[in-house]
């Protein structure tokens, strides 16, 4: 199949809809997709028939409502298309109600107390704006998931609600600026995805990789990424074959995989798609993560999406490239030739500055995973302090506009390479700043804090809602002022934004201690760990924002806070248990038996006058003992945490601070002893593959 035919061949997209739906039905569905119009319920039956015929033609036997509960994994049950006739034969059937609504048991998914076990009813609702697709002989229908009482239990519902909040406010701005032909505005997103690929046989030999997706112990290999010889380096043949297969799968599902390359760490890679409407980008990123894992498996590889699979080596993130666009293709963040006169651009940049400063804590919150905790602030990814990089030129230009100075220019320069035969290159408006969590990159902002395993749902929900709020306040001002004062009012908005929110702009090195000190002086939130960050969700100003735009009720905020605390605790408890298993059943016995062997051989060595044997045995003994002692300490802490959970009616919600303050340090201290032991043990006696085995397999 050639590339253009392959692309989207397993998606109920434009071509399939045209072929399988009558023209008026196709057009009505298109309007829902393109203009965010409500779905006409009368067309659902015909759409269901068309979708079924199309799915059957691709060999599908089942359909599934595909949704993303708050456990971060996609879910869905599978129903076959068969229906029994009275004579015992079967026909295929797929009714409109089966397309539009599903009823999974909501009590088996995280609900933060919104659903008790005995209140099981939950619903899935078809999201007609995200195309259905056929995978593994199942028709997947993207859906939103909510409870019997209407609370959202997933990441899609709030994202769709936030799109609904942004659209009218953005349209108000456009209309006030005289840009009247747009009917629908939404955020556009391109999510770059980093991941590790490890030989599957080796990965399977380690309990931590199997159960936690990251190594809990492991000494640093002598060669990691010191030579900077991996980033964009030659792609190994085995990996190239995997990537080729991956791309073909993704293309067939309509995921526009565009760029692939090796990343900074050994065995680390990246994939970037072409940007698209935010809720589709979100579903596509989830699908990408699933296909990454499955394709890797077929190639005898394990794909790790954890944020920090290996200590001491760069972890994996996800970059959320964000802009806002009309259905007619106007990008709000495109500076154009005269950005200082481009009112839409100025207002949009100001709206984003306003949003990021007002809701820095929520953005930080949206980047929370237990794994990302190991990555942020480590000098390999943005720090845990939110700030924005605009670049010197744009920053200066905004200040000039605010002061009424004309002539501020963002003209692109030309790069002279000094070599006559090379073409002169057009320079970008600003250099890159890889250390910034939120950087302007020409015609979009790139939020770089997200962890590789995360859904991009929450961060875009926060961005859409905060920008909707800023646009709404700006639109109030612009609508109040007469036409002849419009320009002056826009200058006023730029002025006020810089005055009130200029503190969030920082163009320097975000990794430096100077910045931490400066950020503290500026009063920016410095949220260094998950439990503290999670608590900010229920701050009054945050709940107010979400309630105002009908994204979350106060009850939903509280529930999500509980779910996040609980998730953080549960993951760490699993990690601690896994670590203890590995130490007690593998590391300690291996260390002890080797120590016994060395000790047995000591006497003849000493009689030869050799001291090295004795010294070696002593070092070993110290470390084996240390491992033993620290293992006992961790067990005590774990018992303590479990007791606290039991006291609280088996809920882990109550213990995040205990986990942070005692469990995490106890695990780190045990790891330290274990890693020290690893490097003085013979490799043949170490009971699992080492970092060198895992990472440098060529
Ligand atoms: P990088 O700047 O990180 O090196 P690119 O410039 O190729 O990489 O873009 C990164 C991502 O940004 C891609 O997924 C791309 O499609 C996306 N992107 C480009 N323009 C926009 C836009 N207007 N809105 C959202 N995402 C965009
Ligand atoms: Mg990037």
- Checking if the pLDDT of 214 tops 80, the result is yes
Whether the pLDDT of residue 117 is over 60: the answer is: no
Residue 342 DSSP SS3: coil
Question: Per-residue pLDDT for 551 more than 70?
Answer: yes
Ligand 1 pocket, residue 275 CB under 6 Å: yes
Rounded to whole angstroms, how far apart are CA atoms 596 and 582?
A: 20
Burial class (CB within 10 angstroms; exposed 0-12, middle 13-18, buried 19+) of 339:
buried
Q: Is the pLDDT of residue 374 over 70?
A: yes
Question: Is 235 within 8 Å of 221 (Cβ atoms)?
Answer: no
Provide the pLDDT for residue 631: 98
Nearest CA to ligand 1 atom 19: 275
Ligand nearest to the backbone CA of 443: 1
The answer, yes or no, to whether any atom of ligand 1 lies below 6 A from the CB of 443, is yes
Query: What's the chain's average pLDDT?
Result: 92
pLDDT in tens, 676-686: 999 999 999 99
Which of ligand 1's atoms lies nearest the C-alpha of 191? 14
> At 415, which helix (H) or strand (E)?
strand 414-415
Please state the rounded mean pLDDT for residues 400-425. Answer: 70
Q: Is the CB of 190 under 6 A from ligand 1?
A: yes
Beta carbons of 429 and 394 less than 8 angstroms apart: yes
Ligand 1 in reach of 448 Cβ (< 6 A): no
The arithmetic mean of pLDDT across residues 189-214, rounded, is 97
Residues making up the chain, counted from first to last: 698
- The Cβ-side half-sphere exposure at 208, using a 13 Å CA radius, reads 26
- Does residue 440's CB lie within 6 angstroms of at least one atom of ligand 1? no
Interface predicted TM-score (ipTM) over 0.90: yes
pLDDT at residue 196, rounded to an integer:
97
Q: Residue 91 contacts by C-beta under 8 Å, 6 or more apart in sequence?
A: 82, 83, 85
Contact between residue 54 and residue 16 where contact means Cβ atoms under 8 Å apart: yes
Query: Worst-scoring range by mean pLDDT, 130-144, 225-239, 445-459?
Result: 225-239
Helix 156-176 × helix 457-480 angle, to 10°:
20
Task: Please tell me the distance from the alpha carbon of residue 581 to that of residue 312, in angstroms, as a whole number.
Answer: 23
Instruction: Give the model's pLDDT for residue 420.
Output: 67
pLDDT in tens, 222-274: 877 776 777 777 788 899 999 999 999 999 999 999 998 888 888 999 999 99
pLDDT > 70? residue 8: yes
Ligand 1 contact, 310 CB (< 6 A): no
Identify which of 275, 318, 431 to mutate to test ligand 1's pocket (most ligand atoms within 8 A of the CB): 275
- In the chain, what's the furthest Cα-to-Cα distance? 101
The pLDDT score that the predictor gives to residue 222 is 81
Which residue, by CA, sits nearest to atom 5 of ligand 1?
A: 272
The angle subtended at Cα 565 by Cα 560 and Cα 570, nearest 5°, is 120
Q: Give the model confidence (pLDDT) of 562-596 as tens digits.
A: 999 999 999 999 999 999 999 999 999 999 999 99
CA 443 to centroid of ligand 1, rounded, Å: 9
CB 598 within 8 A of CB 620: yes
Tally Cβ neighbours within 10 Å of residue 228: 8
Domains of the chain: 3-154 (3.10.20.70), 162-215+227-413+422-552 (3.30.590.10), 568-695 (1.20.120.1560)
Q: How far apart are the CA of 445 and the centre of ligand 2, in A?
A: 10
Backbone phi, psi, residue 138, to 5°: -125, 140
Cross-strand pairs, 9 = none
Mutate to test the pocket of ligand 1, among 187, 190, 333 (most ligand atoms within 8 A of CB): 190
- Count of CB atoms situated within 10 Å of the CB of 329: 7
pLDDT at residue number 607: 78
Ligand 1 centre to CA of 321 (Å) is 6
Residue found by looking up tokens 């699908």 in the block: 287
Residue among 270, 272, 323 to mutate when testing ligand 1 (max atoms within 8 A of CB): 272
Does residue 272's CB lie within 6 angstroms of at least one atom of ligand 1? yes
Does the pLDDT of residue 95 top 90, yes or no? yes
Taking a C-beta distance cutoff of 8 angstroms, is the pair 189, 282 a contact? Answer: yes
Which residues have C-beta within 8 Å of that of residue 79, sequence separation ≥ 6? 62, 63, 64, 98
- Whole-number pLDDT of residue 412: 60
| Lowest mean pLDDT segment, chosen from 67-76, 223-232, 258-267, 423-432 | 423-432
Q: Are 280 and 255 in contact (CB under 8 A)?
A: no
**Gap from CA of 4 to ligand 1 centroid (Å):** 22
pLDDT-derived band at 164 (thresholds 50, 70, 90) equals very high
| Number of neighbouring beta carbons within 10 Å of residue 626 | 18
The SS3 assignment for 607 reads helix
Asked if 565 contacts 534 with a C-beta cutoff of 8 angstroms, the reply is yes
Task: Give the 3-state secondary structure of 503-565.
Answer: HHECCCCCCCHHHHHHHHHHCCCECCCHHHHHHHHHCHHHHHHHHHCCCCCHHHHHHHHHHHH
- pLDDT surpassing 60 at residue 126: yes
Please state, in angstroms and as integers, the Cα–Cα distance from residue 411 to each residue in 156, 341, 507, following that order: 40, 13, 19
Which residue's CA is the nearest one to ligand 1's atom 24?
323
Q: pLDDT class for 41, splitting at 50, 70, 90?
A: confident
Rounded (10°) CA dihedral 271, 273, 277, 278: 0
SS (H, E, C) 45-114: HHHHHHHHHHHHHCCCCEEEEEECECCCCCECCEEECEEECCCCCEEECCCHHHHHEECCEHHHCCCCCC
Residue nearest to atom 6 of ligand 1 (CA): 441
Residue 120 has pLDDT above 70, yes or no: no
Q: Is 186 in the pocket of ligand 1 (CB under 6 A)?
A: no
Q: Which ligand is nearest to the CA of 432?
A: 1
H-helix segments, 372-529: 392-402, 457-480, 486-501, 513-522
CA of 612 to the centre of ligand 1 (A): 58
pLDDT at 628 over 60: yes
Question: What integer pLDDT is reported at residue 614 of this predicted model?
Answer: 87
Is the pLDDT reported for residue 459 higher than 90? yes
- Does 418 have pLDDT greater than 80? no
- Check pocket membership of 430 for ligand 1, CB cut-off 6 A: no
* Confidence band, pLDDT 50/70/90 cuts, at residue 423: low
pLDDT at 464: 98
Binding site membership of 274 for ligand 1 (Cβ less than 6 Å)? yes
Beta strands 268-273; 414-415: pairing state: unpaired
> How many Å lie between the centroid of ligand 1 and the Cα of residue 190?
6
321 close to ligand 1 (CB < 6 Angstrom): yes
């Amino acid at each position: 199949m050639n590339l253009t035919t392959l692309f989207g061949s397993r998606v109920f997209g434009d071509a399939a809809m045209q072929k399988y739906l009558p023209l008026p039905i196709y057009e009505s569905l298109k309007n829902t997709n393109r203009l965010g119009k409500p779905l006409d319920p009368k067309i659902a039956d015909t759409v269901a028939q068309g979708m079924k015929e199309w799915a059957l033609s691709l060999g599908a036997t089942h359909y599934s409502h595909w949704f993303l509960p708050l456990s971060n994994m996609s879910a869905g049950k599978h129903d076959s298309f068969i229906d029994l006739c009275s004579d015992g034969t079967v026909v295929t059937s797929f009714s409109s109600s089966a397309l539009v609504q599903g009823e999974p048991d909501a009590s088996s998914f995280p609900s933060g107390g919104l659903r008790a076990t005995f209140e099981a009813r939950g619903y899935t609702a078809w999201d007609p704006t995200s195309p259905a697709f056929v995978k593994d002989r199942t028709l997947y229908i993207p859906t939103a998931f909510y409870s019997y009482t209407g609370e959202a239990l997933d990441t899609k519902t709030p994202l769709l609600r936030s799109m609904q909040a942004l659209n009218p406010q953005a349209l108000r701005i456009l209309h006030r600026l005289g840009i009247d032909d747009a009917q629908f505005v939404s955020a556009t997103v391109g999510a770059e995805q980093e991941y590790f690929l490890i030989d599957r046989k080796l990965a399977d030999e380690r309990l931590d990789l199997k159960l936690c997706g990251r190594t809990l112990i492991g000494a640093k290999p002598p060669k990691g990424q010191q030579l900077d010889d991996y980033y964009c380096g030659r792609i190994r043949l085995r990996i190239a074959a995997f990537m080729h297969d991956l791309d073909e799968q993704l293309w067939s599902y309509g995921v526009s995989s565009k760029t692939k390359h090796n990343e900074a760490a050994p065995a680390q890679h990246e994939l970037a798609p072409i940007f698209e409407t935010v809720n589709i980008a979100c579903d596509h990123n989830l699908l990408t993560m699933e296909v990454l894992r499955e394709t890797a498996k077929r190639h005898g590889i394990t794909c790790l999406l954890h944020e920090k699979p290996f200590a001491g080596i760069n972890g994996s993130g996800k970059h959320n490239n964000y802009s806002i666009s009309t259905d007619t293709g106007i990008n709000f963040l495109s500076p154009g030739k005269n950005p200082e006169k481009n009112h839409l651009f100025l207002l949009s940049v100001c709206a984003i500055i306003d949003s990021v400063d007002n809701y820095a804590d929520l953005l930080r919150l949206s980047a929370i995973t237990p794994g990302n905790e190991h990555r942020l602030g480590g000098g390999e990814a943005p720090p845990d302090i939110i700030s924005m990089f605009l670049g010197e030129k744009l920053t200066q230009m905004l200040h000039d506009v605010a002061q009424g100075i004309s002539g501020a220019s963002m003209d692109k320069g030309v790069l002279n390479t000094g070599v006559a035969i090379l073409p002169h290159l057009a320079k970008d408006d600003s250099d890159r700043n890889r250390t910034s969590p939120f950087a302007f990159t020409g015609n979009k902002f790139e939020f770089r804090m997200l962890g590789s395993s995360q859904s991009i749902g929450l961060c875009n929900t926060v961005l859409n809602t905060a920008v909707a709020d800023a646009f709404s306040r700006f639109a109030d001002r612009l609508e109040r002022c007469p036409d002849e004062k419009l320009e002056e009012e826009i200058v006023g908005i730029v002025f006020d934004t810089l005055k009130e929110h200029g503190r969030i702009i920082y163009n320097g090195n975000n990794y430096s201690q100077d910045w931490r000190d400066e950020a503290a002086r500026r009063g920016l939130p410095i949220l260094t760990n998950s439990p503290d960050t999670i608590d900010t969700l229920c701050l009054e100003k945050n709940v107010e924002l979400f309630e105002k735009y009908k994204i979350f009720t106060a009850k939903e905020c509280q529930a999500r806070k509980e779910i996040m605390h609980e998730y953080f605790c549960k993951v760490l408890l699993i990690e601690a248990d896994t670590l203890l298993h590995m130490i007690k059943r593998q590391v300690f016995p291996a260390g002890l038996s080797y120590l016994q062997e060395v000790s047995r051989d000591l006497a003849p060595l000493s009689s030869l006058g050799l001291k090295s044997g004795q010294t070696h045995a002593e070092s070993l003994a110290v470390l084996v003992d240390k491992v033993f002692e620290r293992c006992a300490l961790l067990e005590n802490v774990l018992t303590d945490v479990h007791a606290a959970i039991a006291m609280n009616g088996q809920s882990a919600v109550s213990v995040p601070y205990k986990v942070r303050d005692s469990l995490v340090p106890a695990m780190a201290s045990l790891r330290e002893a274990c890693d020290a032991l690893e490097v003085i043990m013979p490799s043949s006696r170490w009971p699992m593959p080492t970092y060198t085995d895992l990472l440098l397999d060529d």
